[in-house]
């Protein structure tokens, strides 16, 4: 099963692909892009989108993300994400750092508090 989805609020959105099959029995989320209105940047809107995303899925669901904004790496490191060589849908990207991690209980608190 592959489903294209979007989460959003009034000034931002995130598109992603959700996959659940025998290779990913707990599910896989592949980020396909996000946008935050220029007037709302640096206000935690992207973190809020990720919190909304994480709250929708069960523990064990894998998230793969292509990080273009290097300032986001510390947030993902706090959540125990690690670098990978390629990700589903996108493959290998030379202009991004590819990371992967699992949703777990307390991930939202770790994103904000560590």
Output the CA angle 18-15-78, nearest 5 degrees: 80
Domains in the chain with CATH codes = 2-113 (3.40.630.30)
Q: What is the pLDDT of residues 17-68, one digit of tens each?
A: 999 999 999 999 998 888 999 998 888 888 888 899 999 999 999 999 888 8
User: For residue 9, what pLDDT is reported?
Assistant: 87
Contact 53, 16 (CB under 8 A): yes
This prediction has a pTM of 0.83
Distance CA 70, CA 90 (A): 18
Contact 17, 32 (CB under 8 A): yes
User: For residue 37, what pLDDT is reported?
Assistant: 92
Q: Helix, strand or coil for residue 49?
A: helix
User: For residue 28, what pLDDT is reported?
Assistant: 92
Predicted confidence band of residue 114 (pLDDT cuts 50, 70, 90):
low
Q: Which segments of 20-71 are extended strands (E)?
A: 28-36, 62-67
């Amino acid at each position: 099963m592959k489903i294209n989805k979007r989460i959003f609020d009034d000034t931002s959105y995130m598109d992603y692909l959700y996959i659940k099959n025998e290779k990913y029995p707990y599910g896989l989320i592949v980020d396909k892009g996000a946008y935050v209105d220029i007037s709302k940047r640096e206000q935690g809107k992207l973190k809020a989108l990720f919190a909304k995303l994480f709250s929708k899925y069960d523990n064990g669901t894998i998230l793969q993300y292509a990080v273009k904004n290097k300032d986001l790496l510390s947030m993902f490191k706090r959540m125990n994400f690690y670098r990978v060589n390629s990700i589903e849908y996108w493959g290998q990207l030379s202009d991004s750092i590819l990371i992967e991690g699992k949703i777990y209980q307390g991930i939202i608190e770790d994103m904000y508090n560590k």
